Structure 1
Amino acid sequence: MIVYTLTAVIGLVFAAALAWKVFQIIKAPHDAPLRAVTLCLVSAAASFVLAMPPFAARIQAVGGAGAPRLVQNLFVLSMAYWLMCFYLYSAADRADRSRRVRKQTLILALAALGLALMTAAVGTHHPDANFRGLDLRDPALASFYLIANLYLVYALTTALRWTCVYARASRRPLATGLWLAAGGIGSMAVACAIRTVLTVVRWQGGAVPRTVVLASSLIVAAAVPLFLVGVSYPGIAMRIAALRLRRHHRLMYHRLGPLWELLHEAYPEDALDRVQSPRWRDRLHPRGVHRRYYRRVIECRDGLVRISPSLAPAGDGARACPQSPDDLADQLYAALRRRKHGEPAPAQAIAVAIPHTQSLEDDVRQLVQLSDALAERLCVRGVPADQGSNKT
């Protein structure tokens, strides 16, 4: 039951991480480091899927008794290779990167050739691809696992060193994801080192407690999801932050509705987007909420600048308007009535709802407080508070 649960968890994490990386690589197909990470996950997923009995049986029917074991381990080695390539593409310049990638490709090719030769030497004996159930006193079979595990220890420890270097130099959430990935890579390296020792012991005819072999398998089972979570964590964290910002902008957009409605009715010519795109297209666009939000903020601020001369009492146009949202809301209503009746206003604009700092968030906060005060008065007068707030 535990094995099936771990398999299901690993499968779900694989699917989610791989889908996210494929989505990213479609948006940036020429990003070499991203391509390396994607191929790393593809290789890991392939080794995981092809080890399942239905797929292993098909591979064995085509390639012979040792083919499933060979194919699975080749994908595992490919996973470690692409993980190293990610750091090579990220850190090295073009000339040095090509040289180092060629070197790592040669090492991988030699390891793959060794696995193929040992598989041919084993022949039809030991068709089982399970490490725990094999008789490793066969020199060819022991050499097969020694080559695979030694390469993995080399590749994973190299990747672990680079991961730790990048994690120390990075900020959250990237640093958090790198440390999680480092934990998974380090655990896999430890498991491969344990299996290397176990292979030598079993090759020499020594007895290995079954619990030790099972422990190495459990370490790998826990390390793989940890690595996948680490690889996906920065993107997921950024996506969550983007969703929070989107929700905040949508809320502020609607809260600015009462203020925008009054000012837009008085100054319709100040609308920034007079030729409107279809509403469904604007709502489906990822940046549609942000565009509507910023446009509404600008239009509200422009409208307040236009009406500000009418907010001050006659003969006192240079005086700053009161900063209380309730007082300002009352004065805004009065100013709009005077403007509607054609009463003249001082020519000089005054400061209206000015924040204490120069940040956009503080400016929006002042506008929202004024809009909320207007919404309360609209409700008292029997007009819905969100009247017109969905217009653009």
Structure 2
Amino acid sequence: MNEVLYPALAAVAWIGLAVKIRDLRRGRNPSRVAVCGALALLGSTFTVSTPVVWSWLDRVTGVANLAALWAHLCVVGFSGTVQLLVLWWVNPPEVARRRARARLALLAVTAVALVVLFLAAGPTEPRTTDFVATYAERPIFAAYLLVYLSAFAVGMVDVVRLCWPYSRLAGRSWLRRGLRTTAVGAASGLVYAVVRVADVVGAQAGVDIRRWEPLAPPAASLGALLVILGLTMPAWGPRLSEFRGWLRRRRQYRQLQPLWSDLHRLMPQIALEPPVAAPLSNLDRRLYRRVIELYDGSLALRPYLDEAAAGRAGRIGTRLGLRADDLAAVMEAARLRGAVRAYAHGAPRSLPDDESADEASPARLDEGADLTQEVARLVRISRAYAGSPVVAAAVAGREALPAEETEVAM
């Protein structure tokens, strides 16, 4: 498992670091530096914990299991760095500096203790995958592991304690999600710490702890992955939202195509530029233009609007139990579809009076209108125009649907 899982997580951490380093170009502040430091330490942890790198480091340095000390120091450093990051997120600068100094001093003491205990424990044989399970029974190594695990666990508890409550106060949605994801990752890290403490206690009690070994790597890996995602989420999350918004607008642009195509075929002058079936650029402007062109085409159809078809669509839709938005959409679609047919045959329909004409005519889009809601409304109309059996029946003069079409009325 370690041969695949650890290199993958190392790659994710290094990629996350590359993403965050770009943020430093906008200016350095303690929180950005802390994020970069945390990701670098995490990437280093999983890099040296990869069995092939572990063995290579043993050969190059001549110190067996030096990778274990390196990885543990990095984990403790990572734990402390995440604490520092959260302190800068949730406290005023002067408070964060004061508390950060205390944690840095504790980190330094812990690092010195780990190095001293590792060297005092004496020589070991290389163990790339089960170092803890092999040497946890030695008293000095047990002390070494307890110092390491205590520092790590205290850091993770601090992260959970700070991140989760503060996520409720975070103004930006992706920062809020990042804090919660980081807290969940830290909680998973605590599972790893509990398993390792059980290893140490079990080894001292003479219990075979190797059967617990498979639990530690997944808990550590899941926690690390979630922390990486949480720390980088405020950077890539907004871009993801932008991409999702772009996909939604592109889909809406194409969903408006059926109604727009018929209007454009009858009145090519409504388009100020050649149409694009699936645009990739200038999508906001193109979508806005498509809305305006639909309004222009609908206005030109004003003398032809089929109010009788709209009434039939309304009665059919009401019997089918359509929601208010869908009912309005099938009525407007029937009104327009009848108008398109009448316009194509050159048979204008006369409206009873000016008041009825004003009511039948769709309102022009003004600058204060909510474009998002208007696009959604027009998409419902276009979809009903293209494929609703209610609209087809109403335009054909029927007052009901065939039984087999009732289930697909919209």
Common topology (TM > 0.5): yes
Q: Which residue of 2 aligns with 1:222?
A: 219
Q: Find out whether 1:297 has 2:295 as its counterpart.
A: no
Q: Which residue of 2 aligns with 1:232?
A: 229
**1:108-119 paired onto structure 2 within 5 Å:** 108-119=107-118
The C-alpha deviation readout for 1:97-153, integer Å capped at 9, x for no partner, is: 233333322222222222233344445x125461111265453x4443233122112
Q: Which residue of 1 aligns with 2:77?
A: 78
The C-alpha deviation readout for 1:281-308, integer Å capped at 9, x for no partner, is: x62x5xx555533432233224434x25
Equivalent of residue 47 in structure 1, options 31, 42, 45: 45
Do the aligned partners of 1:10 and 1:225 also contact (CA within 8 Å) in 2? no
Q: Which residue of 1 aligns with 2:338?
A: 330
Structure 1 stretch 54-63 or stretch 235-244: which is displaced more? 235-244
Do the aligned partners of 1:353 and 1:367 also contact (CA within 8 Å) in 2? no
Are residues 71 and 10 of structure 1, via their aligned partners in 2, closer, same or farther at CA, if it must alter by over 3 Å? closer
Q: Which residue of 2 aligns with 1:363?
A: 377
Letter in 1 for 2:206: V
Q: Which residue of 2 aligns with 1:384?
A: none
Structure 2, unaligned runs of 5 or more: 307-329, 348-353, 393-410
Structure 1 CA distance, aligned partners of 2:343 and 2:33? Answer: 60
Structure 1 CA distance, aligned partners of 2:6 and 2:50? Answer: 13
Q: Which residue of 2 aligns with 1:372?
A: 386
Structure 1 CA distance, aligned partners of 2:97 and 2:40? Answer: 22
Letter in 2 for 1:188: G
Are residues 94 and 174 of structure 1, via their aligned partners in 2, closer, same or farther at CA, if it must alter by over 3 Å? closer
Aligned residues: 343
TM-score with structure 1 setting the length: 0.66
Letter in 1 for 2:103: Q
Q: Which residue of 2 aligns with 1:381?
A: none
Structure 1 CA distance, aligned partners of 2:385 and 2:59? Answer: 72
Letter in 2 for 1:254: R
Do the aligned partners of 1:163 and 1:178 also contact (CA within 8 Å) in 2? yes
Do the aligned partners of 1:164 and 1:182 also contact (CA within 8 Å) in 2? yes
**1:1-392 paired onto structure 2 within 5 Å:** 4=1, 8-9=4-5, 11-12=7-8, 15-16=11-12, 19=15, 22-23=18-19, 26=22, 30=26, 33=31, 36-37=34-35, 39-65=37-63, 67-122=66-121, 125-128=123-126, 130-134=131-135, 137=138, 139=140, 141-166=141-166, 181-193=182-194, 195-196=196-197, 199=200, 206-211=204-209, 214-215=211-212, 218-229=215-226, 232=229, 246-261=246-261, 263-264=263-264, 266=267, 268=269, 271=272, 283=280, 289-305=283-299, 307=300, 309-311=302-304, 323-332=331-340, 334-335=342-343, 351-353=360-362, 359-369=373-383, 372=386
Letter in 2 for 1:250: R
Q: Residue 44 of structure 1 aligns to a residue in which SS?
A: helix
Do the aligned partners of 1:179 and 1:230 also contact (CA within 8 Å) in 2? no
Letter in 1 for 2:145: Y
Question: Aligned-residue CA RMSD in angstroms?
Answer: 4.7
Are residues 8 and 292 of structure 1, via their aligned partners in 2, closer, same or farther at CA, if it must alter by over 3 Å? farther
Do the aligned partners of 2:83 and 2:158 also contact (CA within 8 Å) in 1? yes
Structure 2 CA distance, aligned partners of 1:160 and 1:54? Answer: 33
Do the aligned partners of 1:18 and 1:38 also contact (CA within 8 Å) in 2? no
Structure 2 CA distance, aligned partners of 1:201 and 1:60? Answer: 28
Q: Residue 210 of structure 1 aligns to a residue in which SS?
A: coil
Letter in 2 for 1:368: S
Do the aligned partners of 1:17 and 1:232 also contact (CA within 8 Å) in 2? no
Are residues 176 and 219 of structure 1, via their aligned partners in 2, closer, same or farther at CA, if it must alter by over 3 Å? farther
Structure 1 CA distance, aligned partners of 2:57 and 2:342? Answer: 82
Once the two structures are TM-superposed, the CA of residue 180 in structure 1 deviates from its matched residue by 5.9
Once the two structures are TM-superposed, the CA of residue 72 in structure 1 deviates from its matched residue by 1.3
Structure 1 stretch 58-67 or stretch 150-159: which is displaced more? 58-67
Are residues 136 and 29 of structure 1, via their aligned partners in 2, closer, same or farther at CA, if it must alter by over 3 Å? farther
Structure 2 CA distance, aligned partners of 1:350 and 1:264? Answer: 24
Structure 1 CA distance, aligned partners of 2:337 and 2:32? Answer: 53
Do the aligned partners of 1:44 and 1:76 also contact (CA within 8 Å) in 2? yes
Once the two structures are TM-superposed, the CA of residue 269 in structure 1 deviates from its matched residue by 6.8
Structure 1, unaligned runs of 5 or more: 314-321, 340-345, 378-392
TM-score with structure 2 setting the length: 0.64
Structure 2 CA distance, aligned partners of 1:74 and 1:237? Answer: 30
Are residues 81 and 20 of structure 1, via their aligned partners in 2, closer, same or farther at CA, if it must alter by over 3 Å? same
Are residues 32 and 254 of structure 1, via their aligned partners in 2, closer, same or farther at CA, if it must alter by over 3 Å? farther
Structure 1 CA distance, aligned partners of 2:32 and 2:294? Answer: 42
Do the aligned partners of 2:160 and 2:187 also contact (CA within 8 Å) in 1? yes
Do the aligned partners of 1:257 and 1:371 also contact (CA within 8 Å) in 2? no
Give percent identity, aligned residues only. Answer: 20
Letter in 1 for 2:293: E
